[in-house]
Amino acid sequence: MLHFEWTWVGLLLSDNTRGEMFFNDLKEEMAKNGLCVAIKERVPQYMVLQEGFQLVSRVIASSSNVIFIYGDADSLQELSLLLLTFIPYGKLLVTTSSWDFSIDTNYELFPTFHGTILFSHIQKEIPGFTDFVRNRNPVMNPEDIFLKAFWEAVFNCRFSENSGTEMFFPLCPGDYSFRDIPIMKIDMVLMELVPNVYNAVYLVAHTLHQMLHSEAKEASDLARNSNLSWKLHHFLKCINSATNASDESCWNGTKPVAEAYDILNYKSFPRQIETLVKVGEVYPLAQRFTIKEEDIDWPDDFRQESFEIIISSLNPPFSSPSFSDIFSLSLVEIQTPTSMCSVKCVPGFKKTSLENQPICCFACIPCPEETISSQTDAEECLQCPEDQYPNKERNHCLPRTVTFLAYEEPLGMTLACAAICFSLLTVLVLGIFLKHRDTPIVKANNRSLSYTLLVSLSLCFLCSLLFIGHPTTATCLLRQTTFAVVFTVAVSSILAKTITVVLAFRATKPGSRLRRWLGSTASYSLIFTCTLIQMCLCGIWLGTYPPFLEMDIHSEPGSIIIQCNEGSLLIFYCVLGYMALLALASFTVAFLARNLPDTFNEAKFLTFSMLVFCSVWISFLPSYQSSKGKAIVALEVFAILTSSAGILSCIFAPKCFVILLRSEQNTLGILKKKVTS
């Protein structure tokens, strides 16, 4: 059952104590191995035709394809005749050789049992016995009454009118000889009977020999006791039937004597030829089992659908419609019988029990998400290791792909190149301003603050490189805090420039107290104070719940996203909110100063730069919340580059245009003329 995975079987047992004991032992072993009984029927020794028909009908109607039959020849003799009358189509019979289903049956009906599997005690070859039988003849040995009965059974004839053989059989002619009968037919008739008698005689002989060589006390008991059946049984149970040798381990009660069985396959061929073929062996105590499946002929009911191939052969020199050779080839394959209540659950599914049903009857349900089952008939689905994920069929785990915003991929390379190019461009603008630091347009726009703003913008572009590449603990700690501090310097520089522009026009009145706030000291104090507040926020962030490196296996199926967890989102949003507050203050002040005279008015450009900055970061926040994986990193890098480039272009592009391409307008006379107008 276990080898062929027959988990749903039927049982036909003789209706006696032997059959009931066999069922109790078998039921216990089947329960241990998860096997179930689909149908169990007791076969009485005598039954009427109607009872037999109902019994076979129940067997045929059962969902089991394999029927195990256990009993002796006497108790199951009615069953053999019954199965010849009501043929159990689609059923494989498994029995023991003690059930002789060929008794008193016609050879033409033997195909009914073709493919039956039988268990038999290992048959020892008796040297010369077959030749001895073939040389026997009832005419030459008239005193051998057993030979006459055997002769009549083999040749289906009778020796006299008063013979007990069927009256419709003809009289046996004198020229019949066993030499005319195939050896396999003789072996088929004698296979079970003769070796059993042979083994029984030798077992008793070896048992008596063992008794005579036992201890002196036992020998004296043997001499005094006339009833020695108990003594004979004691010795008999320790004689190995296969080797006729004494098993020493049996005497002290440690284990019973080893047994061995042959697995036979009953085969029926045309012309009333039948044979039993050995296809395997079983050693129960050693738990050893061998079988040659390729040697087994299964019943014809277990054949696959036939396919017919038509091959037409035409010889070109003589081809014509009337000379076509057509060959028909039928392909038929006999399948190994299966007997299961429920179809096996394939990998990717698990078994679930059905209410009020045996354990062999179950339903198959798909494994839940993120779990797999790699075995057939899995009881539970298992989680994949963290570095693996289930495939689409959920029958095995696949290695996850490590994902981060790398320099090697197109997006990472593009953002890194853009950051470096913008940083170099900012340095170029700073060089232009340093070279033309004494020109009126540079002086008029607070060149010291312009230098600070350009340096901070260059660093803003470079700090975006901390977001690209394989994250580490150091980059996780530095990238957000560095970006926050450097960007705070840039935004606070813009705020200082905006306030300076406003104060420059408010302090034109004689004796105005605002003149003392126009110096560089006040501007740098404002930048320092704003940056110090941001640094305190970042210090609290790093001291309480700092960013850390993590591996995200849930956001993207099949990927391990190596990313930086920001730690405390509250402080992270406080840092961004503080920069937004400085930008909003700069935008407000610059918007109020937009109508001042154009010559000294930088407020319009500051207004546009802050408008770009706020627009970028307002758009960033909802996108940041809805993105996952490396898209978040790319989005933040893009926001840094876009906002920094907006500030650079809005504030410094017009000035560079005048310095490089309109140098005639960068004179003190032009500036005074604009002021007068």
DSSP string across 463-502: HGGGGSSS--HHHHHHHHHHHHHHHHHHHHHHHHHHHHHH
Least confident of 166-175, 424-433, 502-511: 502-511
CA distance 157 to 606: 125
DSSP string across 341-362: SSPPPPTTEEEEEPTTS-TT-E
Instruction: Tell me the residue type at 655.
Output: K
Has residue 340 got a pLDDT over 60? yes
Cα–Cα nearest to 580, from 620, 633, 541, 525: 620
CA distance 68 to 37: 10
DSSP string across 27-86: HHHHHHTT-EEEEEEEE-SS--HHHHHHHHHHHHHSS-SEEEEE--TTTTHHHHHHHHHS
CA distance 124 to 195: 7
Task: At 145, list the tokens.
Answer: 């009454």
Percent of the chain clearing pLDDT 70 (strictly above): 75
User: What was the pLDDT predicted at 174?
Assistant: 67
Has residue 37 got a pLDDT over 80? yes
Strand pairing class (362-366; 371-372): unpaired
**pLDDT band at 468, cuts 50/70/90?**
very high
Least confident of 83-97, 161-175, 387-401: 161-175
Mind listing the pLDDT tens digit for each residue in 206-218? 777 777 776 544 5
pTM, rounded to two decimals: 0.59
Give the contacts of 516 (CB within 8 A, at least 6 positions apart).
Answer: 522
Strand partners for 43: 14
For tokens 């066999």, name the residue.
22
**pLDDT band at 97, cuts 50/70/90?**
confident
Q: What is the 3-state secondary structure (H, E, C) of 400-422?
A: CEEECCCCCCHHHHHHHHHHHHH
Question: Could you say which DSSP state residue 142 is in?
Answer: T
**pLDDT band at 103, cuts 50/70/90?**
very low
Cα–Cα nearest to 470, from 411, 416, 548, 404: 404
Has residue 306 got a pLDDT over 50? no
Least confident of 72-76, 113-117, 265-269: 72-76
CA distance 201 to 264: 24
Cα–Cα nearest to 107, from 174, 176, 179, 181: 181
